[in-house]
Amino acid sequence: MDGQGEMSPGGPRIRRLPDGLVNRIAAGEVIERPASVVKELVENSLDAGATRIDIVLRDGGRTLIAVADDGCGMGAGDLALAVERHATSKLPDEDLLQIRSLGFRGEALASIGAVSRTTVTSRARGADLAWSIEVEGGGVGEPCPDALVRGTRVEIRDLFHATPARLKFLKSERAEFGHAREVVERLAMAHPGVAFSLVHGERTALRLEAGTGDPETMRKARLAAVMGREFAENSVVVNDERDGVRVTGRAGLPTIGHRNASRQYMFVNGRPVRDALLGGAVRGAYSDFMSRDRYPMLALFIELPGDRVDVNVHPAKTEVRFREASLVRGLIVGSLRKALQDAGHRASSTVADDALGMMSRSLSRGSWQSRPGRGNATGAVADRLEMSVPPAASVPVDESVPDPEYPLGAARAQLHETYVISQTTDGIVIVDQHAAHERLVYERMKAERAGSGVERQVLLLPEIVELGEGAVTRLAERRDELAGLGLVLEGFGPGAVVIREIPKLLGQPDIGSLVRDVAAELEETGTALALEERLAHICGTMACHGSVRAGRRLAVEEMNALLRDMENTPHSGQCNHGRPTYVHLKLAEIERLFGRR
Ligand code: ADP
Ligand code: MG
């Protein structure tokens, strides 16, 4: 104590940091790489009400980043303020809870200016003069008259030239540009009414026209332009609301899964965010239809009142904190399940494309020529489809066959006691009878589960499971929900629960591990996914055993019944592992295969 008193005259002194240094420190949080600059500038253009935004990068953004917009622009006074720290036009009052703009911290331009050579040129709407201002290494010049037709143009040169440590952390030009491109794509997905262009060096990497038509059409077109036509055509509309929180967007069919989660996009009040909540919720919603190593593609847009979400968690504003995280999670899971349910038996069109791609490759390789005894192209196609010529069993065509107008057509043949071939108005359908039936049985079991509730089994000897107190509280809070899933429990003194009934489907499980899994899941995600997944898994396993095996000969009535069942059953387009249950080949495609078109 007394030692400190003695030290103070010669000890460290507190001093206020000069503005330039403060800005550079702040830049460290907000401006990590060229992509962060692009993000801040494009957000500013969107906040300024731009309808077109043109972005140019050179050398991955290291030497030049230029963003031009046709937004509201700024006059000379505002221009000088804009590059100052903590100066913003976006917080008209002190209310941090009602933020509708993408920016609000008023530090991006000051931070960027501290670590680059920055020029901002702008013309306020209706003004007859444009102004520009220069910032270099934090030193701000005077606004000068300049020429610009409309809006604002920001030019960043030599990013991080004064902070070599940052420079060293940058990746290759290509990688840095890739990050920047992703930033632009994400913002563009949330703003389909705005035109975007992105040029890297000499190359135009992205050109997105401003959308027209109703919002859903605009969104679909924009998502197709960014995520690919395949996604747009093989996704379903999501649209749901719960307690003032709305979720819209599109969810990919399980058959077009991706190998990682990079094609899962989430937006909160128009702001692209990354949130762990999304991954868990999506996994829960798709757990029935996809193996764990595949990830669905989707874009979800969540809208909720500003006071129910905190966007001021991190300077880069890519994280949010929901006030009612479990409400949002439940809404996402519910809306996805509903959307996929409505998709019915659809399997993605890519399935047929893949099959055709495979067949035409084998045709062009001329594989049939190399096989003795196969004198024509049909042989090669038949090989690929594992059908033999003539078919092992065929159905006489008579007047009693169903109308080929049915989506899955009228059954014509069963091949190899495994595949049902049917004729539709415009093509043929090949059904994997085992996979299809497994799915049908599974869905039926699920429906029964939902209808009359999960059948329960009373334990003759109730089992006591020791848990932490937090876990006991969480389980107790969800008692009713868990009982609905077949798990009946009560608190049993501090730190333990007694299990009285369990889902009958589970047979004789290790109850301790089941309950601990459920409690852990409740803590992690706020839902009883462990139990649901386990039930789903059991249903799947049982369905598999109860299914029409491959290798069973079917009567034509049975085949048609299978097709009609598939049409009327949700999720029947893929088996429990995300593989398709049928392939639809269009006549036009088949004709192309034979060179007839
Ligand atoms: P913030 O966006 O958080 O307000 P910025 O430092 O990014 O902070 O920008 C500061 C201010 O400069 C903004 O509040 C806005 O008034 C103005 N501004 C920046 N970019 C533009 C632009 N492209 N068009 C019009 N005004 C802009
Ligand atoms: Mg900003």
pLDDT digits (tens, 9 = 90+) for 232-291: 888 999 999 999 999 999 999 888 888 888 899 999 999 999 887 888 888 888 887 777
Q: Measured in angstroms, how far is the CA atom of residue 4 from the centroid of ligand 2?
A: 44
Q: Is the CB of 560 under 6 A from ligand 1?
A: no
pLDDT for residue 399: 43
Nearest residue (by CA) to ligand 1, atom 10, is: 82
Comparing 40-44, 217-221, 569-573, the range with the smallest average pLDDT is 569-573
pLDDT for residue 104: 80
User: Which atom of ligand 1 is nearest the CA belonging to 69?
Assistant: 23
pLDDT of 61 strictly over 70: yes
pLDDT of 39 strictly over 80: yes
pTM beyond 0.85: no
Q: What is the mean pLDDT of residues 333-360?
A: 72
Query: Tokens 């503005």 correspond to what residue?
Result: 19
Q: Which of 30, 88, 99, 120 to mutate to test the pocket of ligand 1 (most atoms within 8 A of CB)?
A: 88
Q: Is the CB of 108 under 6 A from ligand 1?
A: yes
pLDDT for residue 363: 45
Q: Measured in angstroms, how far is the CA atom of residue 90 from the centroid of ligand 1?
A: 8
Neighbours of 126 (CB within 10 A): 8
Q: Which ligand is nearest to the CA of 86?
A: 1
Output the six-digit token pair for 318. 């890519």
**What residues sit around ligand 2, an ion, with C-beta below 5 angstroms?**
44, 103, 108
pLDDT in tens, 436-477: 887 777 777 677 677 777 788 899 889 999 988 888 988 888
How confident is residue 505, by pLDDT bands cut at 50, 70 and 90?
Answer: low
Which string of DSSP letters, residue by residue, matches 406-426? STT-EEEEEETTTEEEEEETT
Q: Measured in angstroms, how far is the CA atom of residue 545 from the centroid of ligand 2?
A: 59
Q: Is the CB of 143 under 6 A from ligand 1?
A: no
How confident is residue 146, by pLDDT bands cut at 50, 70 and 90?
Answer: very high
Q: Which ligand is nearest to the CA of 43?
A: 2
Q: Is the CB of 125 under 6 A from ligand 1?
A: no
Q: Is the CB of 68 under 6 A from ligand 1?
A: no
pLDDT in tens, 547-594: 565 667 888 888 998 899 888 888 888 776 677 888 888 888 888 878
How confident is residue 149, by pLDDT bands cut at 50, 70 and 90?
Answer: very high
User: Which atom of ligand 1 is nearest the CA belonging to 111?
Assistant: 6
Q: What is the mean pLDDT of residues 154-165?
A: 91
Query: Tokens 């049928």 correspond to what residue?
Result: 582
Q: Is the CB of 311 under 6 A from ligand 1?
A: no
pLDDT in tens, 469-501: 888 988 888 888 788 778 899 988 888 999 999
Nearest residue (by CA) to ligand 1, atom 7, is: 108
Q: Is the CB of 36 under 6 A from ligand 1?
A: no
Q: Which of 37, 41, 109 to mutate to test the pocket of ligand 1 (most atoms within 8 A of CB)?
A: 109
Share of the chain above pLDDT 70, in %: 82
In whole angstroms, give the CA distance from residue 584 to residue 344: 15
pLDDT for residue 500: 94
In whole angstroms, give the CA distance from residue 407 to residue 23: 63
Share of the chain above pLDDT 90, in %: 40
Q: Which of 30, 47, 54 to mutate to test the pocket of ligand 1 (most atoms within 8 A of CB)?
A: 47
Output the six-digit token pair for 228. 């690919």
pLDDT for residue 29: 74
Q: Measured in angstroms, how far is the CA atom of residue 195 from the centroid of ligand 2?
A: 19
Q: What is the mean pLDDT of residues 503-529?
A: 74
pLDDT for residue 380: 30
Tell me if 38 sits within 8 A of 180, measured CB to CB: yes
How confident is residue 353, by pLDDT bands cut at 50, 70 and 90?
Answer: low
In whole angstroms, give the CA distance from residue 326 to residue 481: 14
pLDDT top residue among 512 and 400: 512
pLDDT of 385 strictly over 90: no
Neighbours of 445 (CB within 10 A): 19
Q: Is the CB of 31 under 6 A from ligand 1?
A: no
How confident is residue 138, by pLDDT bands cut at 50, 70 and 90?
Answer: confident
Q: List Cα–Cα distances, 211 to 191, 195, 204, 234, in angstroms.
A: 9, 8, 19, 20
The rounded mean pLDDT for the chain is: 82
pLDDT of 122 strictly over 80: yes
Comparing 63-72, 127-136, 371-380, the range with the smallest average pLDDT is 371-380
pLDDT for residue 291: 72
How confident is residue 596, by pLDDT bands cut at 50, 70 and 90?
Answer: confident
Q: What residue spans of 67-205 are helical by DSSP H?
A: 76-82, 108-114, 164-169, 173-190
Q: Is the CB of 256 under 6 A from ligand 1?
A: no
Neighbours of 510 (CB within 10 A): 10
pLDDT of 377 strictly over 60: no
User: Cα 410 to the chain's mean position, in Å?
Assistant: 37
pLDDT for residue 471: 86
